[in-house]
Every structure is written in structure tokens, then in C-alpha cells.
Amino acid sequence: MLYAFIPGPRGLLRLEQETSISPGADLAEALWVDLYRPLDSQIAAVTALGIEVPSLADMEEIEISNRLYREEGADIMTVVLPGITPDGVQIAGPVSFILTEQRLVTVRHHAPRSFETFPERADRSAAGCKSAERIFLGLLEEIIARQADLLEGAGRALDKVSARVLSGKGLDSHQLQQALEEVGRQGELVGRVKLALLTLERALSFFDQTLAASAQGKELKPIAKSQMRDIGSLAVHGDFLSNRVQLSVDATLGMINLAQNATVRIVSVVAALFMPPTMIASVYGMNFHFLPELDWPWGYPMALGLMAASAFGTWAVFKWKNWL
């Protein structure tokens, strides 16, 4: 899909384009062109504007030189953002920002939430939306705010899990397994957000260096610095949540171990209760010819009584020791 935007009275206005777009005046007027899983014809339309669109393989390169570079008057910055695939799977995927003096082009193959919410709120960002550089900073502001929301949501989820696990209500193994799975999901989310913050910080540092040659550099530089401070604060909060994830995992695993120990203790006590009766039954079950009790009229009741008394005595000792 190809989405093209121009500044409007409020936020950014989307230019209506066909699915298979050809180079035209409308696209040339756009300050922001957003390519989402683009078709070959849509890539060709952007290429006709003098902008080379990187492939997914290029975007997935992990070397800094392949993610942050300047080519033919365009700054190419690739970050990794949490988002959702068309199949509904949550992933952290690459997003490329191609910034020129005329426009901003974004290329993505998954759907970060910020790209859907930003156009309506573009004019409310600190940078505004009157130029490509301002749209870039405004979009980064929206992305950073989204990472803050994700961390906040992860913190609330961890609060609920910790309260449930440490409530002392004696959760069963199935409930503890659900809690452990939820902690794992939140840990994955926090990890994706921390990776996004790391790549965003690198991209902003690269962009900050290019502002010296920009006509709006003096005005935009404080905004970029403020966003970098926000990223630093969120990174610290992400580290805190990572520690909470580890604490929640340890607490849940500890509760699972306690539950398993309680089960093993019950089995051990039951086995111990039957050990003395089993020994008595084994003695009187031996096939020797001379067993005096075999000829006693009360031999059988006596054996049963001994077995019951030994089991009761074992139970009484365990009760006295508070092992039950």
C-alpha cells in the first residue's frame, strides 16, 4: 500500500491514490509518502521521484553503516519498531525513514500503531508538520509516546501478575502456568520496546548531526535533543521493568516449586503411612511352615489391629511434627 500526505488545516491530509499508482502530480506534492508492504508499481512511483526504496533484506541488515547513511542528498535511517503483521503476530520489524529536503518516505512491512495515529495529530507535535523534517520529528515523537504506552501497559500487567502470584491464595499449577506465560509475554514486549528505543536513539543522533546544514537546524535541534532525553528516560524505565520481569519469573517459579513440593510431601506421607502395615503384612505373608500366629483364633484380627495401630501411630507422629 502507498499512502501520501500533505499538511492540512488539522494534521495531515491523505491524498487519495489508487492501489497501483503511477507517477503523478499528487504524489509529487506529498510531504510524507508511507509505503506499507509496497507493490512493484508503488516502488516505481516513488523511485520516479528520485528516491531509491530499500528492500526488506536491506532493511534487515544489522550493520550501522547499512542502517544510518546518506546517499544522493537523502538521509536513510532504519529503526526497529514493535508492530503487528497482517497475520496478527506481534513482532519487532525494521522501518526505514528516507528524508530529503522535499519529503519524507517511510518503508515498512509491518504495522506499528504510531503510523495509524500520527496523521490526525501531526499538527499537535512540538515540531509541527509544515516540512519533511518537522513531519519526521513529529512522527518520532508519536513513536516514542507509543513506546511509553507499551511500557506502561507492561508495568500494569506485571502488577496484576505479581499481585495474583503473591496473594497467598494458593494458586493451582494451571493458574501458575498462566501467570508464567503472561510474564513471558510482557518480557518479550519490554525487550522489543528496548530494542526500538536503542535504534531510535541512534537514528536521532544521526539526524541531529545533519541539522547543522539545515535551514531549520537551530529551531529543530532542541526538539531532537528533547526527544533523545525522553528516549533515555524510557530506556531506564525499560531496564526497571526488565528487572521486574525477572523478579516475577523467579516468584512464579518459586510458587510452582512450592506447589510441587507440597504434592511430593503428600505422596511421601501417604507412602510412609503404609510402610509399617506393609512390613507387618510381609511378615505374616511369609510361607514358613511354623508360624505360631497361624493357629491362633485371633491371629488374623491381631494382624489387622497391628497394621491399623502402626498406620495411626505414624500419622500421629507426623501430625505432632507438623508435617501434615
227: exposed, middle or buried (Cβ count in 10 Å: 0-12, 13-18, 19+): buried
Find where cell 505373608 sits: 285
| Whole-Å CA distances, 162 to 148, 182, 186, 259 | 21, 11, 12, 17
- Segment 283-324, tens digit of pLDDT: 877 777 677 776 777 777 888 888 888 888 888 888 887 776
How many residues does the structure list for the chain? 324
Among 68-77, 112-121, 258-267, 307-316, name the one with the lowest average pLDDT.
Answer: 258-267
Distance CA 286, CA 54 (A): 86
Judged against a pLDDT cut of 60, whether residue 250 lies above it is answered with yes
Q: How confident is the model at residue 231 (pLDDT cuts 50, 70, 90)?
A: very high
Q: How confident is the model at residue 237 (pLDDT cuts 50, 70, 90)?
A: very high
Q: How confident is the model at residue 35 (pLDDT cuts 50, 70, 90)?
A: very high
92 DSSP β-pair partners: 82
CB neighbour list of residue 53: distance below 8 Å, 6 or more residues apart:
35, 38, 43, 46, 47, 98, 105, 107
- Segment 209-226, tens digit of pLDDT: 888 777 777 888 999 999
- Segment 202-211, tens digit of pLDDT: 999 999 888 8
Whether the full predicted model's pTM is greater than 0.75, yes or no, is yes
Residue range 81-92: average pLDDT? 92
Residue range 58-73: average pLDDT? 81
pLDDT at 8: 86
Q: What is the mean pLDDT of the chain?
A: 86
Asked whether 31 and 132 are in contact (CB, 8 A), the reply is: yes
Q: How confident is the model at residue 192 (pLDDT cuts 50, 70, 90)?
A: very high
31: exposed, middle or buried (Cβ count in 10 Å: 0-12, 13-18, 19+): buried
Judged against a pLDDT cut of 80, whether residue 142 lies above it is answered with yes
Residue 20, classed as helix, strand or coil, is coil
pLDDT at 20: 39
